[in-house]
Amino acid sequence: MSDSRTDPRLALEFCGLHLNTPLVLLSGCVGFGEEYTRVAGFSNRDAGAICLKGTTGQARLGNAPHRVYETPDGMLNAIGLQNPGVDHVVDHTLPQLDFEETRFFANVSGSTIEEYIEVTRRFDDSPIDAIEINISCPNVKEGGVAFGNDPDMSARVVEACRKVTSKPLITKLSPNQTDIAENARRCIEAGTDAFAVINTLMGMAVDVENRRAVIGNNQGGLSGPAIKPIALLKVQQVYQVAAPHNVPIIGQGGVMNATDALEFLIAGASTVGVGTGLFYDPLCLPKILHGISDYMDRHGYTHVRDLTGTLQLNGAVSACAPPAPQDPAT
């Protein structure tokens, strides 16, 4: 396995698309697809797909600084959907991308269902390979609650987007809700083809000297290894709902190395998202791929897809059973 990029066991089909590898570069971490190629040794070919930055109907300037801040084993970000608007992305950005190197997914964001429809429709008429819906945006017409925090609103967004595109639709689920499995169920009914699990968890950092929120937007999304255990559980929960419908999952949240990636595959993911991990090590992709190949060698797997959902749960009953009553005679 001198070159994991060419390890045929790692190539897979995802929503009918051929991916070179099971790694997906996450929206918001890799700009509009070319930024990381600045780093010598980085290749878009190591990614099965690259999810472009969140795109809205009109250009947005995004939030005031500071937008990022380190927290224990993680980081907060509140970028605020800075993007040049969907027309610019379709007309000027996509023609610059090399679709021979990898697959490119759009990330659709909006403040209203109408905006999601508008952006999705525009991407439908473009070379983009698939469309990820970021349902974690605030719904400005209904009090600013994130669409994705509510199964009903989530399903309405997915249903609306489904009507205007035949491209694969990936719904990015939020962990900031009570029952992610129920949300997933509703999104499947509404026509999603895949899930990305999970988006960031909302958090905050405080500058005690100045008694101010550090992040310009006050709150931000927490990512990195700190959220991995949560992400793994959510993937496992969504997998229970999605697997019977053959709806695949991009498992994501704090993936730094091959072991992390394997955990997500085993928990039920078909592909694994890498985002914050690139900030730590921009050249982590080939290392993760090598690590997955090595694992497959050691465990006799002939294809990466065979790892998906191989998690063995422990017998919960015995673990929670009360201790046996003691013999009063002893």
Q: Smaller CB distance to another protein: residue 138 or 282?
A: 282
* Range 255-294, binding another protein (CB under 8 A): 276, 278-283
Report the residue from 3, 13, 35, 294 that binds another protein according to the rule CB under 8 A.
35
Residues 103-122, one symbol each (x = binds another protein by CB under 8 A, - = not), give --------------------
Residue 41 binding another protein, by CB under 8 A: yes
Find out whether 174 and 136 touch, Cβ atoms under 8 Å: yes
285 vs 99, 202, 261, CA distance in Å? 19, 27, 11
Radius of gyration of the chain (CA): 20
Residue 274 phi, psi (nearest 5):
-125, 125
Q: Which of 223, 278, 241, 232 is nearest to 35 (CA)?
A: 278
Tokens of 132: 């990820």
First vs last C-alpha separation in the chain: 62
Report the residue from 15, 46, 49, 69 that binds another protein according to the rule CB under 8 A.
69
Residue 91 binding another protein, by CB under 8 A: no
Residue 142 binding another protein, by CB under 8 A: no
What span, in angstroms and rounded, lies between the C-alpha atoms of 203 and 218? 9
Active-site amino acid positions: 137
* Residue 249 DSSP one-character state: E
**Segment near another protein (CB under 8 A); pick from 2-10, 92-100, 166-174, 258-266:** 92-100
Residue 73 binding another protein, by CB under 8 A: yes
User: Which DSSP string do the residues of 154-197 spell out, in sequence order?
Assistant: HHHHHHHHHTT--S-EEEEE-SSSS-HHHHHHHHHHTT-SEEEE
Q: Smaller CB distance to another protein: residue 51 or 197?
A: 51
Q: Smaller CB distance to another protein: residue 13 or 70?
A: 70
Q: How far is the CB of 159 from another protein (least distance, A)?
A: 30
Interface positions with another protein (CB under 8 A): 28-31, 34-41, 53, 61-62, 65-70, 73-75, 77, 79, 82, 95-101, 127, 224-225, 276, 278-283
